[in-house]
Chains A and B, each alone.
Chain A
Amino acid sequence: MTDFRLASVPPATGPLPVTRGAMTLSLADPGPLWSVAPHRGEAAAVSRALQEAIGVSLPGPGRRHAAGGASVQWFGRNLWLVAGVAPPDLPGAAVTDQGDGWVTFDLAGPEGADVMARLIPVDTRPAAMPDQAAIRTELHGMMVAVARTAPDTLRIMGFRSMASTLTRTITEAMERVAAI
C-alpha cells in the first residue's frame, strides 16, 4: 500500500449557484448513481428486489419514485437510474456504475417551464410534466434527463464532459426569461 491519494473533483460547471430573476441554478449531488437494466422477463422481480433493498420500485415510463434518500427514475427503454444509495445485489439485471458520468443541476423557482422552453423540445409545464415526472430528451443537441423532483424544482442531468456548455446554455436561458 502506497501513500498515494486521489483528489475528487466535481464536473467543471463554472461558478454555481447562479440566480437570474426568479430562478436559481445549482449543482446537485445526487450521491451514488447506477443504472439498472433487468434481464428478459426479470423486470418485476428486480422491481420487488429494489423495493425490498432500498424502498423504491421501478416506476413506469416517464416517472420517478423517491423515498428516504433513494430515488429511481425511468431512464429509457428497459433502463432505470437509481440515485442516493449503493446498489444492492441484483442478479436479474445489468447494473452499471454511472456515478461519475453525469453532471446534475437543480433548476429551482417558479419559471422553470419558461426556462426549459428555451432549452428542450418538451412541454415541462406542471400540467404536462407533474411532480416526479422524468423524461429523456435533448438540450441544444446534448442528451439529457429531466425530472421534476419537487413542484418548483427541475433536475437536469447531462454528460459530465458537457458540464460547462450546459451551465452556460441554461444560464443564458434564465437570463432571457428574466429580461422578457
Chain B
Amino acid sequence: MRLGQGGLVDRDRHLGFRFDGHAYEGLEGDTLASALLANGIRLVGRSFKYHRPRGILTAGSEEPNALVTLGRGAAQEPNARATTVELRQGLEARPQNAWPSLGVDALAVNDLLSPFLSAGFYYKTFMGPHRIWERVFEPAIRRAAGLGRLSQEVADLQFEKAFAFCDLLVIGAGPAGLMAALTAGEAGADVILADEDFLPGGRLNAEREEVGGRSGAGWAAEAVTRLEAMPNVRIMSRTAVTGVYDQGTYGALQKHPAAAGRPEETFWRIVARRAVLAAGAIERPVALANNDRPGVMLAGAVRSYLNRYAVAPGRRAVVFGASDEARRTAADLRRAGVHVAALVDARERAETSDFATYAGATVERVLGREVEGVAIRLGNGREERVQADLLAMSGGWNPNVHLSCHLNGRPVWDESLSAFLPAPGAVPGLIPAGSCNGAVTTAACLAAGREAAARALEDLGLKATAPDLPEAEDRDPQARPIWVVPGKGRKWVDFQNDVTTKDIELAARENFRSVEHMKRYTTQGMATDQGKTGGVTALSILADATGRSIPETGTTTYRPPYAPIQIAALGAGGEGRGFAAERFTAAHPVHLAMGAPMVEAGLWFRPSYYPRTGEKTWRQACDREALMVRETVGVCDVSTLGKIDVQGPDAAAFLDFVYSNTMSTLKQGKVRYGLMLREDGHIMDDGTCARIGPDHYLVSTTTAAAGEVMRHMEFAAQVLRPELDVHLVSVTEQWAQTAIAGPESRDLLNEVLDSPLDPGTWPFMACGAVTVGGVPARLFRISFSGEHAYEIAVPARYGESLFRQLVARAEARGGGAYGMEALNVLRIEKGLLTHAELDGRTTAFDLNLSGMMSKKKDFVGRAAAGRAGLLADDRPRLVGIRPVGAVRQLTAGAFLFDPETESTRENAQGTVSSVAFSPTLGHFIGLALLKEGPERHGETVRMVDHLRRVSTLCEVCDPAFFDPAGGRARD
C-alpha cells in the first residue's frame, strides 16, 4: 500500500506494468518489488523443492524468493529479482516455477511429502535398473526442479564489454563509499565509484536518519552532486562489482536504462591501483518455524520499503529482533500508519518504548499460509499469539565480505560482533571500510570511508585533503545475534532451496560435518543468493550440531560472481560471427563471384571448389579441376600459407637450428622443403624455405600453424639461441600468392610476366624476383601437385587483380581456378602431406622422412626424436592404399585390419588419414599410417569404417600414386 507522502519516488511519474497477467501502476523510482507491495501483492513466487508460496523477503540483490520472468518471446528473462528490477513503463513480469498457477501449484504436494524428501534423499534410493532412473525418476526430478525458463530462441540481445582504468575503485555508494569517493576525488585521484543500486546512497536512502543536519538521503544526493562535478570521478550507478581477479582487476556489471540502440548491460573489466570495499552488510533472517511465509520480511527491508519507496508492506506488524534497530523499525512502521502489534526483543534489556514490547522473548512460529499472526514465546515460557499480517524480523547483519574472499582469503570471525570480517590484506590493494568491515553506525561508516580513502591515497602517492565528516548517528544499536529460535516446526535457512535447520542437523548426523560437505549434501547456500541470507546461520546450526564454535566450523568458499551475470554479458561479442575474426585473402571477391563454397582454416576462408553450370555435385567440380591441372593449367589462391621473413647475419645458422634439415647450404635463389620439429621430436610443421638473399630467407608454413610456428621461432631466437642476430617478421599479410600448376603453367605465366622466363635459369625449386604488370613480384618454382608449377607472390593490393586475370587466361587455355578439394586430390595422388598426416603425433620416421633429419648439427627436437620408442618398427608409418576388392570406396578415419581378423582394437593395424577419388587414376586412393607400413607394400588389408558402414579390401602401396619419379614437376 502506497503511503500518502515521503519516499524517494516520483509521484508525478506513473508507470503501468503487468504481473501475472494483471495490470498495475507504480511510480518512477520503484523497484518491481516495491510496486508489487504498493499494489498489495504478497505472493510472488514458489520455492525450489517444496513449491512453498513465497513473498518478498528483502529489498536487494540477495532476494531468494521473489524471482520472476520478465518479458515474453525470444528475449524473455528468467530469474530476475523483483527487488532489483527498476520499474519502467510497460514492464511485464510473470511468476515462475508454479503450475498451473502461482496460487495453486500442483507440485506443492512436495511440501506434504517433505518427511521423505529430506537432505540427500535421492542418494539413498532410485538405485534400481538404470533405465528406470533415466526414463522415469530423473525426468520427473528435472521437470520439478529449475526456476525460470529460457525461451530456447535466438534473441537479438545487445550487451557489451569494456575496460576501465582508475587509481581508486570505490565499491558501494553508501555512507562509507560516498565518503571515500569524496576524499579521493578531492585529492585529484582518478576515481570510479561503482554502486549496484540505481540510486546511490545505500542504507542512507532506507533509514530516517540525519547526516550533516539533513536527511541521510539528502546528504547522499548532495555528495553525488559534488562528485559529479569532479572531472576525475566517474560514478557508475547500477553497477555491481562482481569479481576480484589478480593484480587489481575487477569485474563489474553495469545495467543501462532502456533506450534505442543502447546495450542492456556493459560488463566492465576495471583495473584499479587501489580499491575501497564499502559493500555494506546483509541482514539475515531468523530461523524460526514457518519463517518463509509471505508476509515475513527482513526488518531492514521493511524500513527500505517504508522510507525509500513510501510503501507499507502490511497493516499490522510484529517486529522481532535483538537490537535497538527493532524500535527503529517499529517507529518507522507507526509513522507510516502501520499498527505495531508487538515489538519482540530477544534481549532481556530491551530498549524501553511505548510499543507493546516483549523483552527477553522470541517469535517462535509464524501462523497462517500467509502471515496471519505469530506465536511469541515469553521469557517465562508462556506462549502468546498476536495477530499480524507482517513480521519484520532481524537476526542481525552479516558484513558483506564476499569480494574480499575472491582471491582465496578466508574471512575472520569477530566474537564481539558475532560476524565474519574481511581478513586484512586478503586482496592486495583492497581496503574494506564501513559496515562490510564491522562498522555499526553511520558515523563510523563515514569515518571509515574517509580513512580508507586516505590510506589508498597515501599508497598512490597523493595527498588527502580530508574533507570534514558530517555529523551522523553514532549510537551503537547494542545488537545481539539471533540464529535459531528453539521450538518445533520447520525453520528455513536457505529459503529458495528449501533447506531447513533439520536438514543441516541431519547432515551433521550423517557425518557431513565439514561445512563443504554440509553445503553439498543439503544444497544450503547453492541457490541464487549463494548463501548471502542464510550462510552464516547455517554455520551456526552446524557448529551447534557438531559441538564446535562458528570459526572452528569455518566458511565455504566465496566465488565470483558476487551477483549472477547473464552469459550474454560475459560473452558479449561472441554471438553470430563475432566469436573470432574472419580472414579473407585479397582474391576473396573473385572466389565469391565464381560461386565457390568457402571453408574455414585457421580463421581464413578458402574456396573449396568452383562449380560450373551442369555440375551437380562437388565431386564433379573437383574431378574437373584436378584433371585440368594434370592436363592444362590450374590457378589456386595459396595466400593463406604463413610467410615469415627471416633476416640477419645469423639467419642461416638460426634456420639450421629450427629446421631438422639444413638450410645454410641452400643457394641463393633456391627453395628447399623443410621440416620443423617440436622439442619432443614430433613434427610441428612442414613447408618451404626460400633463400632470397645472403642473409635473407622466406619461410612458409601451413595455414593453420602459422601463428604457432612464428611463436616457436621467436622462442628459439630469443630464448634458445639469443646469441644469434636474426630478425623474424610475418609477411603473410603482405603478399598475395597464387599457385599456377600444370603442363601449361609456364606459358600462362609468360603471358603476364613483364619478361618471359628463361627455362634455363628457372629449374625446379628456383626462386627469384620478377615483375608483373610493372609490379615487383616474387616467383617460386615449387609444386604441391606434382606438375610443373609456380607460385607467384605480389603485394596484397594487387592480389585480386592478378588472380582474376590468371583465372581468365587459364580458362582461355581450357584450364581455370582450382580449390581446396582439387588441391587435396592432387597432393594425395603425389603422397604429399597435410595436417591429416602431420597431426602432432607423427615423426619424420613415421612419414618416411628420416632422411630430412640432419646428423651433422643440433636442431630443435633432434635429441627427443632419437628415443628408441620413436624409432620402433611397429609404429604406424605412412603408406598408400588402393581398393582391390568389390567395394571401391575409401573413407578417412577408417581403420585397417588384416583381412582375416575381426575389426577390434586389439587387431587394428592402422588408420586412414586422407582419401580422395583420383580422376587421373580412376579410383579411390588413400594415405594411411600402418604398422610396419613401408615393409608391407603389396599386402592386402581390410579397411573398416564402422560409422559409415564401409568395408573395403585394399592393397598397401607406395604413397606416391602418380608420377612417383617426379619427372613432371622437374621437366
Contact = CB atoms under 8 A, between A and B. Distances in A.
Direct interface between A and B, CB < 8 A: yes
Interface of A: 1-2, 4-12, 35, 37, 39-40, 77-79, 94, 96-102, 117-118, 120-123, 125, 127-128, 140-142, 159-166, 169, 173, 175-176, 178-180
A160 B805 CA distance: 22
Interface in B520-560: none
Contact of A161 (B190, B256, B583, B772): B583
A177 to B, nearest CB: 9
B735 to A, nearest CB: 7
Contacts of A164: 582, 584
Interface stretch (B485-493, B791-799, B818-826): B791-799
Contact of A96 (B259, B573, B731, B799): B731
Contact of B727 (A94, A101, A175, A176): A94
Closest 10 A-B residue pairs measured CB to CB? A94-B647, A101-B733, A100-B796, A101-B734, A161-B583, A179-B261, A37-B727, A100-B795, A123-B165, A6-B773
B230 interface: no
Given A6-B772, A117-B163, A165-B581, A179 B260 contact: yes
B645 interface: yes
Given A123-B165, A161-B733, A178-B261, 20 more contacts: A2-B753, A4-B773, A9-B798, A12-B584, A79-B727, A94-B729, A96-B645, A99-B795, A100-B736, A101-B734, A118-B160, A121-B269, A160-B796, A161-B585, A165-B581, A166-B581, A173-B160, A179-B262, A179-B263, A180-B262
A122 B645 CA distance: 29
Contacts of A79: 727, 729
Nearest to B260: A179
B583 A162 contact: yes
A2 B753 CA distance: 7
A78 B727 contact: yes
A159 B648 contact: no
Contact of B801 (A9, A94, A96, A142): A9
B805 A97 contact: no
B733 A39 contact: no
A159 B262 contact: no
Contacts of A102: 733
A26 to B, nearest CB: 18
A7 B260 CA distance: 43
A120 B578 CA distance: 15
Interface in B779-828: 794-802, 805
A159 B731 contact: no
Main secondary structure of the interface of B (DSSP, over half): mixed
Contacts of B649: 39-40
Contacts of B582: 162, 164-165
B863 interface: no
Contacts of B734: 96-101
Given A4-B773, A118-B161, A165-B581, A101 B753 contact: no
5 contacts: A4-B752, A9-B799, A161-B733, A165-B582, A180-B266
Given A101-B731, A102-B733, A159-B733, A9 B800 contact: yes
B356 interface: no
A161 B718 CA distance: 28
B751 interface: yes
B797 A37 contact: no
A178 B584 CA distance: 29
A5 B732 CA distance: 23
B796 A141 contact: no
A158 B797 CA distance: 15
B734 to A, nearest CB: 4
A167 to B, nearest CB: 11
A160 B733 contact: yes
Contacts of B754: 1-2, 4
B160 A39 contact: no
Nearest to A78: B727
Contacts of B798: 6-9
A77 B714 CA distance: 11
Contacts of B794: 6
A54 to B, nearest CB: 20
Contacts of B774: 5-6
Nearest to A128: B165
Contacts of B140: none
B3 interface: no
B752 A121 contact: no
Interface in B556-585: 573, 578, 580-585
Interface string B716-757: 001000000101011111111000000000000001111100
A37 B729 contact: yes
Nearest to A9: B800
A161 B584 contact: yes
B104 interface: no
Contacts of A99: 734, 795
B492 to A, nearest CB: 41
A111 to B, nearest CB: 12
A121 B163 contact: yes
A162 B581 contact: yes
Contact of B261 (A5, A118, A163, A175): A175
A40 B825 CA distance: 46
B163 A120 contact: yes
B164 interface: yes
Contact of A117 (B162, B732, B802): B162
Nearest to B651: A94
A105 B583 CA distance: 17
Which of A79, A100, A120: most chain B CB closer than 10 A?
A100
B875 interface: no
Given A4-B752, A162-B583, A37 B733 contact: no
